[in-house]
Amino acid sequence: MESYVSKVLDEIDIKILDLLQKESQINNAELARRVNLSPPATHTRIKRLESEGFIERQVAILNQEKLGFDLLCYIFISTNIHQSELLEKIEGSLATMSEVLECHCLTGEHDYLLKVVIRDRKELDYFIRKLNKLGISRIQTNLSLREVKNSTILPIVDNEQSC
Amino acid sequence: MESYVSKVLDEIDIKILDLLQKESQINNAELARRVNLSPPATHTRIKRLESEGFIERQVAILNQEKLGFDLLCYIFISTNIHQSELLEKIEGSLATMSEVLECHCLTGEHDYLLKVVIRDRKELDYFIRKLNKLGISRIQTNLSLREVKNSTILPIVDNEQSC
DNA sequence: GCTGAAAGTATAAATTC
DNA sequence: GAATTTATACTTTCAGC
């Protein structure tokens, strides 16, 4: 696989993005050292990468388990609705539910796939009731038994990484 | 839903975690102001939350589309393997593949669910060949047509949020 | 946990390549 | 046009209370 180097992004930009997506609290001087540039030059590039939207946001990833979220579920849902106005309303409702971390419109037999974090069985029951109330006709819940990998790192540089 | 307040985490800790998981580059003085504490006290708490593992890491979330990743896939895979040593080897291989952002061992008819980011159709073909070589017997690929929501924010405080 | 000072870090300005 | 060095403002972090 080759790196994504375009007219707008050179190798140094890619390197900066990669370092930041792995460890965003790295300080500017250290970042500059790793890309062989002066701190101000590096800083200017970061600001450009932010303003141009390559960096969407910087976040802290919290430990689900330590915070009491015992259940991670992937839930497939289907609706019988084909009216776009109603679908938008359902999507809006799904997006505002804080248990729903991800929601994707998918190819295949189901309409949407949800990634949902839940504390316990009781809350899962409550959540599925909420889905039913939205007018969702079919729900297929898959529980994660074990997390093998969970990363936000896009493969923008060649080397395979393990985290 | 009620907040997760335990002997180790009080309301202020939860508030700090929540602010950081939404915007980790917020500065300490501003964070302190929002939780009604002095900057040093706030700082001490953050360090504690990090060392105790409530904060796993801080990362920059990059824009997939702008970086050329046109395809987001959820891929279900099954193996015919029941020997734990071989399964561990397969899991290790999956975990080191940089296209695989997530890998979960799931309940249901399939063994694993993968979240995979891919640049184009050609790369998807190449990726599926790699899976075949690992000894995976059944592969069901679902493409994301549209992202309705994509968040890393755990619902540790009551209010529903939209991002 | 607070206040205030010292150390460290980011940003701006001036200059050079 | 983009990077560097120098200078300044800000932010974190460490005392003492």
More confident: B158 or A161: B158
User: Which residues pair with residue B74 across a beta bridge?
Assistant: B115, B142
**Portion of chain A with pLDDT greater than 70, in percent:** 93
- Tell me the C-alpha distance between B1 and B158, whole Å: 6
Could you tell me how far CA B162 lies from the centroid of its own chain? 18
Helical axes A11-22 vs A39-51, angle rounded to 10°? 80
Residue A35 pLDDT: 98
| DSSP class of B30 | H
Could you tell me how far CA A97 lies from the centroid of its own chain? 15
Mean pLDDT, rounded, of chain B: 93
Using a CB-CB cut-off of 8 Å, the residues of chain B touching A142 are 106-108, 113
- Tell me the C-alpha distance between A142 and A119, whole Å: 15
Within 8 A by CB and 6+ apart from B100, the residues are: A149, B94, B114, B115, B116
Dihedral Cα A131, A134, A135, A137, nearest 10 deg: -10
Residue A133 pLDDT: 93
Residue B158 pLDDT: 83
Q: Answer yes or no: do B123 and A147 touch at CB < 8 A.
A: no
Q: Each residue of A6-59: pLDDT tens digit?
A: 668 999 999 999 999 999 999 999 999 999 999 999 999 999 999 999 999 999
| DSSP class of A58 | E
Using a CB-CB cut-off of 8 Å, the residues of chain B touching A52 are 66
Q: Each residue of B38-54: pLDDT tens digit?
A: 999 999 999 999 999 99
**Quick one: average pLDDT of B70-89?**
94
* A122 interface with B at CB cutoff 8 Å: no
Residue A117 phi, psi (nearest 5)? -105, 130
Residue A2 pLDDT: 43
Residue A3 pLDDT: 47
The pairing of strands B71-79 and B112-118 is: antiparallel
Residue B8 pLDDT: 83
Handedness of CA A49, A52, A54, A57 (dihedral sign): positive
Q: Which of residues 26-65 of B touch A (CB under 8 A)?
A: 52-64
Q: Each residue of B119-129: pLDDT tens digit?
A: 999 999 999 99
Residue B4 pLDDT: 59
Does the pLDDT value for residue B160 go beyond 90?
no
Residue A12 pLDDT: 98
Q: Each residue of A66-88: pLDDT tens digit?
A: 999 999 999 999 998 889 999 99
* A139 interface with B at CB cutoff 8 Å: no
Using a CB-CB cut-off of 8 Å, the residues of chain B touching A72 are 104
Residue A4 pLDDT: 58
Count of beta carbons in the 10 Å neighbourhood of residue B84? 8
Catalogue all structural domains in chain A, each as residue range(s) with its CATH number: 4-60 (1.10.10.10), 71-143 (3.30.70.920)
Whether residue B94 contacts residue A137, with contact meaning beta carbons closer than 8 Å, is answered with no
**Quick one: average pLDDT of A132-136?**
92
| pTM for the full predicted model | 0.93
Q: Each residue of B54-63: pLDDT tens digit?
A: 999 999 999 9
